[in-house]
Amino acid sequence: MRDDCQFQKGRSPSISSKITVQGAIITNGEKVVRGVEGNDLNIVCNTVSGIPTIKSFMNINGLQFQRVGNGSLTYHFKPSKKDNRKTFVCSAYSPLLDNPLSSKVFLDIQ
């Protein structure tokens, strides 16, 4: 299953936009990124858009990361048991989008 949120305005592929979370899987109807306690974990949000001024955000552990344009945002950390079932959100905004793109994902820390 693919983990993405996609928007396409009209029929022009140049305005098509999507946001994905690398390595996310669907478990019990929820998007999940798995990790192991004490082992390095990278959370990567990817934005691909025909809109050059699209702004991407990642909210995790009370921190917000941002970039403008296509590309990825990466958060690197060593998870603990306390991180299990925490959520993070990857979002993308632009005045050209009717609605922001968003992908909410849970952490599954073993």
Strand partners, 63: 60
**pLDDT tens-digit readout, 28-43:** 999 999 999 999 999 9
Residue 99 has pLDDT above 90, yes or no: no
Q: What count of other Cβ atoms lies within 10 Å of the Cβ of residue 105?
A: 22
Tokens encoding 76: 């690197």
pTM: predicted TM-score of the whole model, two decimal places: 0.75
Tell me which architecture the domain covering 15-109 has in CATH. Answer: Sandwich (2.60)
Q: What does the mean pLDDT of the chain come to? A: 83
Q: What is the mean pLDDT of residues 48-56?
A: 83
3-state SS assignment for residue 15: helix
